[in-house]
Amino acid sequence: MKMKLAEIAKAIDAQDINAAWDELEVTSVAFDSRNLTPGSLFVPLQGARDGHEFVAQAFQNGAKATLWAADHDIPSDDQFPRLVVKDPLAAFQRLSQYYLKKINPIVVAVTGSNGKTTTKDMVAAILATQFNVTKTFANFNNEIGVPVTLLNMEPSTEVVVVEMGMDRFDQLDLLSRLATPDYAVITMIGEAHIEFFGTRDRIADAKMEIVHGMNEDGTLIINGDEPLLTARAEDIEQQVVTFGRQLADDFYATSVQLADDQVAFSVNEWPDLTFTLPMVGEYNVNNALAAIAVGAQLQITPENMQKALQGLQMTENRAEWIQGTNGERILSDVYNSNPTAVAEVLKTIEQVQTEGKKVIVLGDMLELGTASAQLHAQLAAEIDSDQIAEVYLVGDEMQALLKQLTADGFPNKRLHHYDTNALAQLTKDLNATLRTDDIVLLKGSHGIHLETVLQGLTKG
């Protein structure tokens, strides 16, 4: 972005701007005073501490101007350029809407209980073969992250791919109305955040909020194998396109070939063309089908889609293979976790061939509410003692899985449990047992911080 303060002030209805500041130009926005780009507009947000406390630091680090809440007194000796608004977050969001209309790209919004970041990356890669594309950085997918994505667009952006997360009702409603999607994708309905919603039905209701801001002539792209989505899609006026594994879907896989480091498949629309993903997991076929459905809507050639998927660069910590210092292969998937995702990645691990042993490290799945113990225990059915040599469990919630595995007859000497404050010991124990050709799965919610175990297994 590149805007003068006078234009920003008008866009967000800011008050008390000093006319001497009108011609100041900002080139980015930032809400972290430590890591901003010189020339930024600083947005003081309310978190554990009030962002207004860091305005001076923001200017020391190169901020050009700041938003300022009207209910905060301005120090009498302060001369920092300020735009005074009622609510800095709301003004920040309003500015992103203004800039979105100014650039006027095609907007693709992506949400889902699992796979939204992977699908976002796939959509962006496919569309980038024929368009100038901006996509959500990392997982900036909430009320703050979506405006950041929109305001980070270059003027040449033709398509913006926006990941949208949610953990409560009305969140996707807000994000959808901010971004006004032309295309909205729902990857699937799982158990993520079931603590807040209670049932998958209610999760589906919340996910469907993504259409609330969608353009009247927009297109909703959904998993056609999920009745909770197809039933709700019948009630919207926009076009609906489906993907999945059934013949009734608009885009479905006609064959799938699994290898240790890739997945290949064909699609009904182009049966003679093979699409290859440089990643493991049959579940990623559905994510790719969603991206292909978007690409088809925007008339990307199938050959370009094929090339884009084959050369895909993924957001880190999403089911990536990493070499450990003992020669083991580590499948790292430590960003988030829920029952559906764990079941899928366990299936993947069991399909991988190796001459060594297979070891799984599972951390607590968070935000499962009163169903947590049951959902953790149910994972026992996904763990084959003939395939998995050692099971390492981390966290209080994993006690339920430990108990169920024991009850199912999984050998106790191959079961290990650690508190979340014992990750250093877990790392030490793993390093003592892992050897060349072994395979290790690391999977857990981000709050368990299994990335520290990964670092301990891979550092030289």
Tell me which residue of 135, 104, 160, 131 sits closest to 299, measured CA to CA. Answer: 131
At residue 233, what is the residue type? Answer: A
Tell me which residue of 115, 108, 96, 171 sits closest to 134, measured CA to CA. Answer: 108
Q: Is 27 marked within a binding site?
A: no
Tokens of 32: 């972290």
Q: Is 132 marked within a binding site?
A: no
Q: Rg (Cα) of the chain, in Å, rounded?
A: 24
Three-state secondary structure string covering 90-102: HHHHHHHHHHHHH
Distances (CA, A) of 51 to 30, 71, 84: 11, 13, 14
Helix, strand, or coil (residue 361): strand
Helix, strand, or coil (residue 68): strand
Q: How far apart are CA 111 and CA 118, in angstroms?
A: 11
Q: Is 115 marked within a binding site?
A: yes
Q: 181, 173 in Cβ contact below 8 A?
A: no
Q: Is 112 marked within a binding site?
A: yes
Tokens of 388: 């998995």
- Residue 370 has a CB neighbour count (10 Å cut-off) of 9
Q: Is 113 marked within a binding site?
A: yes
Q: Is 114 marked within a binding site?
A: yes
Q: Is 116 marked within a binding site?
A: yes
Tokens of 199: 């049932």
Tokens of 235: 């009630």
For the annotated binding site for ATP, the residues are 112-118
For the annotated binding site, the residues are 112-118
